[in-house]
Amino acid sequence: MTPHGRRTWAWLTSAALVGSGLLAVLGVAARAADPSAETYRRPADGVYHLEGFGYGHGRGMSQWGARGAASLGVGYQEILRTYYPGTVPGAQPSRSLRVRLTGDDGVLEVLPDVAAGLRVAVGDADDAGGGAVLPERLGSCGVTRWRIEAVEPGLRLEGRVCGTWIPQPVDGRLTVSGPVTFATDAGRVRVVLGEDLVRTYRGTVGVAVDAVGIARTVNTVELEDYLRSVVPAEMPAGWPPDALRAQTVASRTYAVFDAATPGSISDTCDSTSCQVYRGVADHHPDGTLRARHEWDGTDEAVAATAGEILTYRGRPAFTQFSAANGGRSVAHPDHPYLPERDDPWDAVVANPATAWTRDVTVERLEASWPAIGRLEELRVRSRSSGGTWGGRVDSVRLEGSRGGVTLTGGAFRTELGLRSAWWHPRSDSGDTGSTGSTTTTATTSDGPTGPDVRRPGSTPPTFDARLVQPWDAEPSLQVMQRIRAGSSAAVAVSGLSAGTVAEVQMLPHSARSWQDAVRVVAGRDGRAQGKITVRTTSYLRVVAGGTVSDPVKVAATVRPTLTATSHRRGRVLVTIRLTPNLAGVPVQVFRVGDGGARTLVATVRTPRGHGRAGTTLRGQRSGARIRLVAVPLVGPQRRGVDSTVVPIRVR
């Protein structure tokens, strides 16, 4: 999420999912009594069956609620007044917006455009209008691509000529400090995002180096043109006009609010951490269309509300929104126009976001928080916002055989990919201990109100298939379930719409945030394939548009090799090498007795940079014959493959 804690449209996704919420652990401590908590012991079947309400953080406008209100004939201005009480309409003069393209850091590659006159300039994007026109040919070959690459000590322009990248001067210099910007007379730039993916952006596209020295790709575009791509990415273009207009004003206001933060090379970004922005369209390198990102319905909404924003005390409001609030919104402590309130519109139209279910295995919990050991119970310590079950989860504690860990509700939700923090384990999710004054039944009457409200346990909601957009897909992922660590593995993604760009993300066992592993593009059958390298046991998932698949566990084998050398005075030098070369892995060294019993004699950790570690065993009895074995602590169970048992005679 952004520093402001934003949402995503119908499904909360990645860049939001891998943020600082994963680190919001309040501490690991010994078990303490908490009589007011809801306690759910380890289920006999090893699965907590969760049911919940809402999708996203629940603050501000519910997008499904806006659609429901519009279907009842409510105008967009009334929708906005209801979801952002206390704000007043304001006017935003025409301005440009600097959008960071988060998936294209490091190297910006563009296609030449002879007809549009591709130019390059050093300086801010506004200066690109006076830049130098790039040549069609260099020597005997035509230029097939141009790129800006980060090098020491700055940025360098290169052209692809006869299959080779050739550096070219900009303003008479081969290396400049930047920013360096591409522009065309047509006002559009074609950016290469993959071997078979070219995305067209309005405005200019360039590279700037941020305060910590990282090269970032930035698209400078007029605010109203930016909204032509953002609004259909945030809300289906086929929804009622007043819902689209409400979304447009909220998105415009949000962008202006974001841009008010000074001192950055960009005003906002293109991911769910800000607002989803995909430019004009995607094409194959030969120019054939893959997917369009601007639509007539949302273009009309942008034009009809041109310049309209919401203000509070004379400043742009923080117009947060989420897919659905489950019938009750969440208050923001810093913004009084984002109150806690019942929402009768959220379920006017049956939808897949108002109510949901999710199974969470104890293995998944133990893998995410290995310090607890074997999970014994899950405890919901506090809730807020009111409604069914007492509202959204604020604090969770997991108790295990080796201790416990306390988490914020947001951290727990983010780690597990739950649709919201408003959830409750069903009664078949293990024994329930004392719940204090908290209601834990799924039939509490103070939940969402309004027509056709869906509560957990009711018939699953359906929605109009004609409104399904590419980001409404339900992606799934398949991969070999056990592979050799460090080797390549093929992943197959399905359940996408043709042309959808998806990211396969990886969560290694020792990591606390998801990492992009490979980008794939769905073919006409909605399928895509890619290759990843799994260095240790990990979880994989697919992020496509606003949709996140369930995680898939991939068990990878890490093999240790132990060597031992005896020195004088009972000292034995032990060296351990891991395959692959994993850094930061704890490795235990055991002495193996005649009957096979093991005694721990040392624990080492492979240093950063390579997977080799060493230690010296002292005080071994001279003349003794001992046997040693190494065990790396990897994977969710913190138990790897044993090395070969090595015998040695102590000198």
Domain count, the chain: 5
Same domain membership, residue 230 and residue 199: no
The ranges of the chain with pLDDT < 50 are 1-33, 432-474, 480-482, 636-637
Task: Kindly provide the residue ranges of all beta strands, DSSP E only, lying in 296-371, ordered along the sequence.
Answer: 308-312, 315-316, 321-322, 355-361
* 4, part of any domain: no
Domain boundary among 556, 588, 619: 556
* 1, part of any domain: no
- Running DSSP on this structure, what letter comes out for residue 324? B
pLDDT, position 650: 84
* 71, part of any domain: yes
- Running DSSP on this structure, what letter comes out for residue 475? -
Same domain membership, residue 359 and residue 455: yes
Cα-atom radius of gyration of the chain, to the nearest Å?
28
Q: Which residue has the tokens 């109203």?
A: 224
pLDDT, position 424: 95
What CATH code is carried by the domain that includes residue 495? 2.60.40.730
Same domain membership, residue 594 and residue 539: no
Per-residue CA distances from 647 to 330, 615, 626, 629 (Å): 64, 17, 6, 9
How many residues can be counted in the chain?
A: 651
pLDDT tens per residue, range 351-406: 888 899 999 999 999 998 999 999 999 999 999 878 899 999 999 999 999 999 99
* 325, part of any domain: no
**Considering the entire predicted model, what is its pTM?**
0.66
- What are all long-range contacts of 329-334, with beta carbons under 8 Å and residues at least 24 apart? 329/58, 329/59, 329/60, 329/62, 329/83, 329/385, 330/57, 330/58, 330/59, 330/385, 330/392, 331/59, 331/385, 332/59, 332/60
Q: What angle do CA 218, 110, 261 make, to 5 degrees?
A: 5
* 365, part of any domain: yes
For 208, the enclosing helix (H) or strand (E) is strand 204-209
Which tokens in the block code for residue 632? 């790396």
Q: Report the distance separating Cα 229 and Cα 235, nearest Å.
A: 11
Domain boundary among 162, 183, 213: 213
Bridge partners of 300, per DSSP, are none
Same domain membership, residue 265 and residue 297: yes
Q: Is 250 exposed, middle or buried (0-12, 13-18, 19+ CB in 10 A)?
A: buried
pLDDT, position 476: 58
Q: Which residue has the tokens 């309040």?
A: 26
pLDDT, position 103: 78
Q: Report the distance separating Cα 396 and Cα 476, nearest Å.
A: 29
Q: Report the distance separating Cα 386 and Cα 82, nearest Å.
A: 19
Per-residue CA distances from 125 to 117, 187, 218, 570, 602 (Å): 16, 12, 9, 69, 58
Phi, psi of 486 (to 5 degrees): 90, -10
pLDDT, position 104: 78
Q: Report the distance separating Cα 565 and Cα 650, nearest Å.
A: 9
Same domain membership, residue 171 and residue 193: yes
Q: Report the distance separating Cα 651 and Cα 618, nearest Å.
A: 12
Same domain membership, residue 530 and residue 484: yes
Bridge partners of 489, per DSSP, are 532
Which tokens in the block code for residue 213? 């020295």
What CATH code is carried by the domain that includes residue 572? 2.60.40.10
Domain boundary among 512, 528, 556: 556
Identity (one letter) of the amino acid at 449? Answer: T
CB 74 within 8 A of CB 407: no
Q: Report the distance separating Cα 399 and Cα 392, nearest Å.
A: 21
Which tokens in the block code for residue 425? 């384990």
Same domain membership, residue 365 and residue 458: yes
Same domain membership, residue 461 and residue 356: yes
For 229, the enclosing helix (H) or strand (E) is helix 223-234
Which tokens in the block code for residue 208? 């700037």
Phi/psi-derived region of residue 76, left when phi > 0, alpha when psi is between -120 and 50, beta in every other case: alpha
* 41, part of any domain: yes
Same domain membership, residue 35 and residue 65: no
- Running DSSP on this structure, what letter comes out for residue 637? T
CB 190 within 8 A of CB 202: no
* 329, part of any domain: no
Q: What angle do CA 348, 301, 242 make, to 5 degrees?
A: 25
Q: 482-484 and 552-557 as β-strands: parallel, antiparallel, unpaired?
A: parallel
Q: Is 513 exposed, middle or buried (0-12, 13-18, 19+ CB in 10 A)?
A: middle
Other beta carbons less than 10 A from residue 166's beta carbon: 14
Same domain membership, residue 205 and residue 235: no
Give the SS3 label for residue 189: strand
CB 311 within 8 A of CB 297: no
Enumerate residues 6+ apart whose C-beta is below 8 A from 334: none
- Please report how many Cα atoms fall inside a 13 Å half-sphere around the Cα of residue 418, on the Cβ side: 33
Same domain membership, residue 576 and residue 551: no
Alpha helix locations (H) across 140-270? Answer: 223-234, 241-259
Q: Report DSSP letters for 495-537, one per residue.
A: S--TT-EEEEEEEETT-SS-EEEEEEE--TTS-EEEEEE--SS
* 327, part of any domain: no
pLDDT, position 436: 32
Same domain membership, residue 623 and residue 568: yes
For 416, the enclosing helix (H) or strand (E) is helix 409-416
Domain range for 129 is 106-213
